[in-house]
Structure 1
C-alpha cells in the first residue's frame, strides 16, 4: 500500500532560494527510504515540507499525498491532527529539540494528550512504556534532558515520534554527533521498530554507507533535485550519477586498503540555491561533464531495473560527443 507520494515538489524560500526543485518520491508502508546528499542539498527542507513545518513566506508547490490526502491542501485543524498521529519527525540534535525545563516523560506524553489518546495518568504510563520500547528504563521519564547522554536523548526523540503510533516517521540525521557504537545501536533500533510496527521510514543522512545498510531504497539529492534513486545497495555500490559516485567513494571501505589510505573527495561545494547555474547544477564539479551539461538540465532517466539517474552518461542516452570533454584517462595523458 502506498503511504506517501511526493509529486513535483518545489520549495522556494523568501529571497528566491530554490531549496527543493521538482522532487518525486514514493514510499510504501513498511518501506525504508534513505535520502542522501551534502549539507545544502535540500534534504532537511524536504523533510520539513512533508508536514508543512517551513517558515512563513516559503513558497511550496506540488503535491504531498499522505495516505492519499494532500498535506498541502489540509486545513490547519486537520494538519494538527495528522502531525504526530499520521506522521512524525525525529529532528537532528536532540538536545536542541527537547525542552530543557521539562522532564522527558512529560514531553513524550504531551502529543498523546494533545491528540486525546489517553488521560494524564495513562499518558504518563504510555511514556514509560515507550522509553522501555526504545531501550531505556521507564524510571528515566523523570529525568531532564541534560541528565541524559546524547544517545539516550536520541532514544527519547524516537519515543516521542512513536507516541501516537504514526504510519510515517521521518528521521532527519538521527545519529548526528553520536559515536559509532551508539550510532549503530540507534540505527538497529530504528530498523527493528519499523519492522515490528510496519512503519514507513524516511531517513536523511549525508552518509551513503549508513543508508545503504539501513534502507531499502535510496534517493540522492543535489542542489534541491533528486539526481539518482533506486535500491539502496545498488546505488551505493554501483552509482550511475557522478555525484552519487563521489559520495560513495568519499567513505573508506572496510577491507580495501586503497580507499582507506587514499579516500576520494570532491572539490568545491553545492551551488547557492538562490543563484543556481544554468544546465545541470553539478556540471561545475563533475569530472565527466560535457558541454551539453552546462546548457541543459538532465531529467531522471532509467538507469537499470527500478533505477533512475539524471545524467547524460546514463546507458542508453545518446552520447553528446560533439565537443565533449576528454575522459579522465585522456586528460592525464601527456
Structure 2
C-alpha cells in the first residue's frame, strides 16, 4: 500500500489562479520523491496542500490519501493529530518559521507535548536526542534562533520535523538560503536520517541535480501540472520533456567548459496561473512545439521504463533538442 497517494489534485485561489492542476503522485513507504520546477510552477502550493496549510481563499479538489485517509476531508481534530505525527514539513526559510522570542528547544518540544507523546521532562530529553541526531549539541536547545547560523537553524527545523516520528517529511526547498558547503551538509543529513529512520521524503527544489542526487524518483512541475515523472537519474540525464531538458541544461557541469561558459537556460517565465495559454502551457517557450501543442494539452505518455512525459515527442525527444 502507498503511504501517500495524490489523485487529481487541483488548487485554485480566489483570484482565479489555477496553482495546481490535476496532479497525480504516489510515494511508497521509505521512498524519496523529488518535485522540481521554476518559481511559480506550483511546487510550494502542492506541499502546503498536503497538510491543508493553505489560506482560506484556496479551493482544493481531488484527494490526498495519507495511509489511506483523505487529508482534504479530515475533521479538524483528526487533521491536528496527523500533522507532525503522520506527516511534517520543513519550510525553506527557517528564520521565518522559528519564533524569534522562544528558545529553539521549547519550539521542538511543543509538538511533542501537544501530541501527548512525553512528559515535560521526557520532552526535554527527546529534544536533546533530536538535536544530537541532526548534528547539534544538546545544549543548543537553550539558544534563540538569532544565536544560530543559517545551517544550524535549518538543522533545528529538521529536528522539529522529526520530533513526533512521522512517516512522511515534506521538505520545501530546505537548502535554498544556504551556501554551497552548508547545503551539501544538510542534504547529506537528510539522506542519512531518511535511511536510518525509514521515513518517506517529498523534497521540493528548483535544482534537478540536487534532487537527482537525493531522491529515488523525480517529478517535474510546470504551470501547476506534472509534465514529467520517472527515475531520478533518468529524468535528470535523459529528460523526455523539453522543459525537463531546459532545467537540466541550465546548470553548468563540472568538467564541461562549454556548459560553464555558456549554460543553456530558458527564455521567459512560467505563465500567470490566472491566465494560462491554451493547449500545452509550455508551448509558448518550447523549442520543438507543434501546431497541436497550441490547441491540445498533452497527457503523460510512456517515455521509457517507469518514465512518463506530457509531450508529443515523449518517445523520441533527445537531449540535443533542448
Q: For the superposition of Structure 1 and Structure 2, which TM-score range results when normalised by the shorter chain?
A: over 0.9
Instruction: For 2:158 and 2:275, locate their aligned partners in 1 and report how far apart those are by CA, in whole Å.
Output: 37
SS at match of 1:153: helix
Corresponding position of 2:83: 83
User: What corresponds to 1:304 in structure 2?
Assistant: 304
SS of alignment partner, residue 303 of structure 1: strand
What's the CA shift for 1:328? Answer: 7.2
Give the secondary-structure state (helix, strand or coil) at the position aligned to 1:284: helix
Name the CA distance, whole Å, in 2 between partners of 1:194 and 1:245. 28
Whole-Å separation in 2 of the counterparts to 1:315 and 1:118: 54
Q: SS at the partner of 2:283?
A: coil
Q: C-alpha separation between the residues in 2 aligned to 1:212 and 1:91?
A: 20
Task: State how many pairs are aligned.
Answer: 320
1:128-277 correspondence runs (5 A): 128-277=128-277
Aligned position for 2:31 = 31
User: 2: distance between equivalents of 1:187 and 1:97?
Assistant: 19
Structure 1: 5+ residue stretches without partners: 318-326, 330-334
Q: TM-score, normalised by structure 2?
A: 0.98
Provide the rounded CA distance (Å) in 2 between the counterparts of 1:114 and 1:198: 24
What RMSD over aligned residues (CA atoms) do the two structures have, in Å?
1.3
SS of corresponding position for 2:96: helix
Runs of 4 or more off by more than 4 Å in structure 1? none
Q: CA deviation at 1:155?
A: 0.1
The alpha-carbon distance between structure 1 residues 99 and 27, as it changes in their structure 2 partners (threshold 3 A), is same
Does 2:69 match 1:69?
Answer: yes
TM-score normalized with structure 1 length: 0.94
Query: Gapped runs of 5+ residues in structure 2?
Result: none
Alpha-carbon separation, structure 1, partners of 2:259 and 2:316: 30
C-alpha contact 2:92 2:177 (8 A) present in aligned 1: no
Q: Distance in 2 between the 1:254 and 1:228 partners?
A: 25
CA distance in 2, matches of 1:290, 1:186: 42
Match of 2:95 in 1: 95
Q: Is the 8 A contact 2:35 2:43 kept in 1?
A: yes
Match of 1:323 in 2: none
Can you list the C-alpha shifts for 1:270-311, whole angstroms capped at 9, x where unaligned?
000000010000000000111110000000011111010000
- How far apart are residue 57 of structure 1 and its match? 2.5
Cα 1:328–1:242, aligned 2, differ >3 Å: closer, same or farther? closer
SS at structure 1 position matched to 2:285 = coil
